[in-house]
Structure 1
């Protein structure tokens, strides 16, 4: 199951949290996505449009533009009825931290008398005026339940049931944690660059054994 990070924006360049703010892709961000598409999207490739049974797309304009760049007109026409633009896969709502750097958030919290024992950790503490880790987990779990329902009956490749997520770096890392049943507060260092593609799968062809797919055999398809 591929997940696709939206490309670069002006705020990702500087490392600012970009949640509710609807920041468009930069020209280079669009190039990142187009470059990825040329390499991994197509018949027999990692993202084969003929094998896709569902797409979950963040409603933010940078994610919707990524979708437009990732797939050609014919593929998008064939996806009619398969695309779900959903708030469940939007970026983490950073609340009052939106548009700020981690260093600014930590300094502000310290100035308000918070985090006296340890530095702020979004995976544990959530965001003031935004989402808690539990709220994020709950909405991601809803998508995961849908995916397991779609893919569960076809664990041995009886038909193509690939699912594509097009969203954002932070929420996709959170999704990967929930995919393998990790609490968001559990440490699992993951990186996903702008415009990059990650893959999640299952062990032993069992829907109740989700796994992170570290290596992809580009000569064949993975469920």
Structure 2
């Protein structure tokens, strides 16, 4: 792997595999859903290519894994790391409430179209269409609440990685969570507000990569693309 890629600490973000509600676009927060058969295959495919000794996510270089407590995230973690000897019982692994999915409140299980129709019927959003990024969820979380807990997690990660910005010791971190919370995480990693119009895509079972420019803890960045270790 290129020296720049390997020596600067990285944060790998892993989205859980497909669930039934992922397939039909329902807002899924606290509801406990397992992965579909296709969701399992998605994560298995990612693991076979990217997780393992001398692969992109090398367990020997990972010092901490933060996993959302939701069942679908724990299942994804187990599949990603099952051949590496890292388990939920490992000292490296922490179930982390700060990275759980956005609490959708009364919108739990709804489609976006259903949310907007309900709000329109009740006389809301007269000045513009509802957006979770700026308006949050009724009886659920506001953008400010999500920002606060993600910033808490980012501070923990920066404390872990700060002493090793020039590769003094391996300091990679993995975060296993959800589509919405991870997109929020990326925005906060870069210092952007959640309503920043930054279009981000993260497929079920996919891996994203965050790091720092010029080995500088004050310059968080994300990889548009990076080199892979040789087979």
Give the alignment's TM-score, normalised by structure 2: 0.93
Name the residue aligned to 2:65: 55
Go from structure 1 to structure 2 and tell me whether the alpha carbon gap of 1:27 and 1:78 turns closer, same or farther (over 3 Å shift). Answer: closer
CA distance in 2 between partners of 1:153 and 1:74 (Å): 26
Within 5 A, what are the aligned runs for 1:139-158? 139-158=149-168
CA distance in 2 between partners of 1:170 and 1:13 (Å): 15
| Deviation per residue, 1:12-51 (Å, 9 max, x gap) | 0000000011111101101100110000001121110000
Q: Which structure 1 residue ranges, 5 or more long, are not aligned?
A: none
Give yes or no for the alignment of 1:110 onto 2:126. Answer: no
Displacement after TM superposition at 1:75 (Å): 2.3
Q: Find the partner of 1:209 among 194, 197, 219.
A: 219
Displacement after TM superposition at 1:72 (Å): 2.1
Q: Find the partner of 2:74 among 40, 58, 64.
A: 64
Q: Secondary structure at the match of 2:60?
A: helix
Name the residue aligned to 1:82: 92
Give yes or no for the alignment of 1:199 onto 2:209. Answer: yes
Displacement after TM superposition at 1:74 (Å): 4.6
Name the residue aligned to 2:42: 32
- Spell out structure 1 runs of 4+ moving beyond 6 A: none
Q: Which structure 2 residue ranges, 5 or more long, are not aligned?
A: 1-10
Displacement after TM superposition at 1:78 (Å): 9.7
Give yes or no for the alignment of 1:178 onto 2:188. Answer: yes
Name the residue aligned to 2:178: 168
Give yes or no for the alignment of 1:187 onto 2:197. Answer: yes
CA distance in 2 between partners of 1:21 and 1:78 (Å): 21
* CA RMSD across the alignment: 1.3
CA distance in 2 between partners of 1:113 and 1:101 (Å): 19
Give the alignment's TM-score, normalised by structure 1: 0.96
Give yes or no for the alignment of 1:218 onto 2:228. Answer: yes
CA distance in 2 between partners of 1:31 and 1:37 (Å): 10
CA distance in 1 between partners of 2:50 and 2:91 (Å): 23
Displacement after TM superposition at 1:79 (Å): 7.0
